[in-house]
Amino acid sequence: MNLKHYELEIDEDNPFANCKLDRQKYSNVLTNIIKSYPYGFVLAINNKWGTGKTTFVKMWEQDLRNREYETLYFNAWENDFENNPLTALMGELKTLTTKETKPEFKKTLRKASTLTKHIAPIIAKAIADRYINTDGVKEAIVGVTEGLSAVFENEVNEYEKKKKSISDFKNSLSEFIANTNEGKPLIFIIDELDRCRPNYAVSILEQIKHFFSVPNIIFILSIDKEQLGNAVKGVYGSADLDADEYLRRFLDIEYSIPEPNEETFYKYLYEYFKFDDFFKSSERLKYREVQADRSDFLETCKLLFTNSKVSLRQQEKIFAHSRLALRSFDFNSYVVPHIFLLLTFIKVRHNSFYENMKSKSLSIKEVQEELLKIIKVQINEQTERLLMYLEVYLLNAYNNYYQERYHRKPLYERDKETGENKSLIDSIFKEDSKNDFMHILGSINRGRGIGDLELSHFINRIELLEDLRT
């Protein structure tokens, strides 16, 4: 059993063979765009962090290779230790060189070094102007020893050299690309751009626009556009900057991978982490009281993961932690998946709520209100009853935990007139629900068992405070 979810293995001959989200059809759409516009453009694959973009672009890259496209994959986040993105991008291009194209690449590299030399003094002066207030220090850095007219003349000359350097570099780069893959475009994939240092991310965008906008290069940027926009605002020091408009200057096409089928991924994770090794084990199935745990777990998964827009990355984290914590339960222990999975979900996604329950700092009413905030589920006839089950199980366990055992007040009382138990609270999910609420409360409080469990029974295991079974 794996402790974490590892990257899917990409079959060289059939790259999407292990894709669990049926995404090959989207790669076909994007490949057809490349076929239609081979001259060159910048495509942004824009999805939130944790939605599986990296896995998708790596599968697609292999598919493109199988179609005889030259591809490069560059993880900007892993390479932002390099201060100059031009160095990193040229380093990636170097991997394409062959014996025949090596001289052409060396020529391009020389142009790039000349370009860097002409840019450096201008950058140095800009930094000096922005950050250094002492005139004498400024002059020492930029070498200002001539009169103003001479300085201006030098700057004009530098501008001219800079323009020529860029033009020479782009012409040389264009020739190198044209000779690399017999006229087919080079597919340059840049991943994790939104996760690297903001100034590095912006610098990559600027260099793609100014230096690499040449025929036959197609850039694929795998991004979370909102986060990248925040990086842009940070670099320019303005919260009012229209980051969306800024990014449009660089992006020719934007594409978002559609959300997967709601139930596909959590069912895959259930199998991947081998939950049935516990829930369907012969040792556990001896006990009638826990035989519904598997169906209860999956039912709770459906409620939590198909309505809350939980990212794939967060689902992986919740499942991985749940499976690890599950090892601290004996085969004859109550797991109560409704509470166990809900608490793990809350710990990962809404930790302050989890910590407040753990510290007993919330009233029963406050627990209900917080629960309503985090459960982004459309309340209807199909979801209403299961939501109440989650609510009642959680409130009962919290109430047992919140009060001292021998002074504990239950959530219900006996009606003196009818002799029947009645709930003291209503459901947060349904008005006038005391009868339904009491029915669920009664079902879990018959005899000694689930009704006596305290929240600590689950928290101690979720916090990994109990020994794990080997």
Q: Looking at the 3D structure of the chain, how many domains does it have?
A: 2
Determine the structural domain holding residue 45 and report its residue range.
Answer: 24-96+180-255
**Together in a domain, 284 and 241:** no
Q: How far lies 381's CA from each of 299, 378, 387, 400, 435, in Å?
A: 15, 10, 10, 29, 16
**Together in a domain, 363 and 441:** yes
**Together in a domain, 236 and 271:** no
Q: How far lies 299's CA from each of 281, 336, 369, 438, in Å?
A: 19, 12, 23, 22
**Together in a domain, 220 and 303:** no
| Cα gap 279→292, rounded to integer Å | 9
pLDDT in tens, the chain (470 residues): 666 666 788 999 999 998 988 999 999 999 999 999 988 899 999 998 888 899 999 999 999 999 999 999 999 998 887 778 888 888 888 888 888 888 888 888 887 777 665 444 444 444 444 444 555 444 544 554 445 455 555 655 665 666 777 788 888 888 888 888 777 899 999 999 988 888 889 889 988 888 788 888 999 999 999 999 998 898 888 888 898 898 998 999 999 998 887 788 899 999 999 999 999 999 999 998 889 999 999 999 999 987 667 888 899 999 999 999 999 999 889 999 999 999 999 999 999 999 999 999 999 999 999 999 988 777 887 788 889 999 999 999 999 998 877 777 888 888 888 888 888 888 998 888 888 889 988 888 876 688 889 999 999 999 999 998 76
Asked, for residue 151, whether it belongs to a domain, the answer is no
The answer to whether 391 and 368 have CB atoms below 8 angstroms apart is yes
Q: What is the pLDDT of residue 123?
A: 43
Q: What is the pLDDT of residue 122?
A: 43
Environment class of 410 (CB within 10 Å of its CB; exposed 0-12, middle 13-18, buried 19+)? middle
Domain boundary among 218, 234, 255: 255
Q: What is the pLDDT of residue 98?
A: 84
Asked, for residue 140, whether it belongs to a domain, the answer is no
**Together in a domain, 328 and 417:** yes
Written as six digits, the tokens of 440 are 């669920």
Phi, psi for 403 (deg, rounded to 5): -110, 155
Asked, for residue 321, whether it belongs to a domain, the answer is yes
Asked, for residue 206, whether it belongs to a domain, the answer is yes
**Together in a domain, 445 and 335:** yes
Asked, for residue 125, whether it belongs to a domain, the answer is no
**Together in a domain, 228 and 291:** no
| Cα gap 275→326, rounded to integer Å | 9
Inter-residue long-range contacts of 224-232, CB under 8 Å, 24+ positions, other chains counted: 224/46, 224/47, 224/48, 224/49, 224/194, 225/44, 225/46, 225/194, 225/254, 226/48, 227/49, 227/194, 227/195, 228/193, 228/194, 228/201, 231/194, 231/198, 231/201, 231/202, 232/198, 232/201, 232/202
Secondary structure element (H or E) that encloses residue 140, with its range: helix 135-142
Q: What is the pLDDT of residue 4?
A: 66
**Together in a domain, 346 and 218:** no
313: DSSP letter: H
Q: What is the pLDDT of residue 128?
A: 44
The half-sphere exposure of 7 on its side-chain side, counting CA atoms within 13 A, is 10
Domain boundary among 203, 238, 255: 255
Phi, psi for 190 (deg, rounded to 5): -115, 115
| Cα gap 339→135, rounded to integer Å | 67
Asked, for residue 175, whether it belongs to a domain, the answer is no
Domain boundary among 225, 255, 285: 255
Q: What is the CATH number of the domain that holds 55?
A: 3.40.50.300
**Together in a domain, 281 and 420:** yes
**Together in a domain, 270 and 218:** no
* Model-wide pTM > 0.75: no
| Cα gap 215→186, rounded to integer Å | 9
**Together in a domain, 390 and 323:** yes
| Cα gap 95→86, rounded to integer Å | 15
**Together in a domain, 245 and 293:** no
Asked, for residue 18, whether it belongs to a domain, the answer is no
Q: What is the pLDDT of residue 127?
A: 40
Asked, for residue 293, whether it belongs to a domain, the answer is yes
